Copies of this chain bind each other. A is one copy, B any other.
């Protein structure tokens, strides 16, 4: 049953604690699952020296790339200008079939730009959302967008609904994922004008797809896992909520007794976000990622990439736009 290991292109220079924790994370990921082979994308001398320090000389392939996109640069402009940026080289490896997926803990905007330019959008997609799975009490919840696009109109929220439903179908094997619109009250009259308009747009677009629209959900339904498997929002609100939930876990971790009991709620163990709507797999980790968080991202990337060949390649555009790993 042994197969070729899954090659994951890892951005050596992405993240607040790169490159050290990136190499540590790659080692942790490969130790935990020999079927995963991280490919380090960055300056070869840096990679070699870090691997040597850890007694791991030559353990992973290294692909040379020298430029980095800083957090305060305009992501799309910087990615366009820097042909040798690590995240862009990593995306090319995926496009060319030399890696199954890329992982970066650098700028979300830079990874999105690199994925858009290099993989291309799927049909019907204007802005690719970043989807994160929250380990809620009752069932996993796909939350999107968590920060790729800070403003969303009703049509974009409807796109996110389709993409999120497709992701939940494939990742969790749900035949009919329940999709909710994040708002300030369960009553469908609650919300700002964008939400009120999105309500009808989402109901219309999901009507012909294998998904059920359950209407408005609230912030608490994301950690609890209420009526929805997929929770749709703009990237501003989704990012604030996700970081708030992670902060609350860290708040709890400040208490040693709670820390012991929290176990599977540890945010480092949940992996990063998957960029949907592009024709390739890209996983975005937190800027502040620890080695364990990087390892989780690498496992998530391998898991999503391995489903790629198992997805029927429907030509239906409504479905196609949502398949993060669809072949074109």
Q: What residues make up the interface of A, taking CB atoms closer than 8 Å to B?
A: 71-72, 136-137, 147, 150-151, 182-185, 187, 189, 191-193, 195, 218-224, 233, 235-237, 239-252, 254-255, 257-258, 261-262, 265
Contact = CB atoms under 8 A, between A and B. Distances in A.
Number of copies: 2
Contacts of A262: 252, 258
A72 B187 contact: yes
Contacts of A240: 182-184, 218-219, 233, 237, 240-241
A244 B219 contact: yes
Contacts of A252: 252, 258, 262, 265
A237 to B, nearest CB: 5
A188 B125 CA distance: 29
A87 to B, nearest CB: 17
21 contacts: A72-B187, A137-B251, A150-B184, A150-B192, A183-B240, A191-B236, A218-B239, A218-B247, A219-B239, A219-B242, A219-B246, A220-B247, A222-B247, A223-B247, A233-B240, A236-B237, A245-B245, A252-B252, A252-B265, A255-B261, A257-B261
Contacts of A151: 192-193
A245 to B, nearest CB: 5
A257 B249 CA distance: 15
Closest 8 CB pairs of A and B: A220-B247, A219-B243, A219-B244, A219-B240, A223-B248, A223-B247, A150-B192, A184-B239
Given A187-B72, A251-B136, A241 B224 contact: no
A240 B224 CA distance: 13
User: Chain A interface secondary structure, helix, strand, loop or mixed?
Assistant: helix
A248 B218 CA distance: 12
A320 to B, nearest CB: 29
A234 to B, nearest CB: 8
Nearest to A258: B261
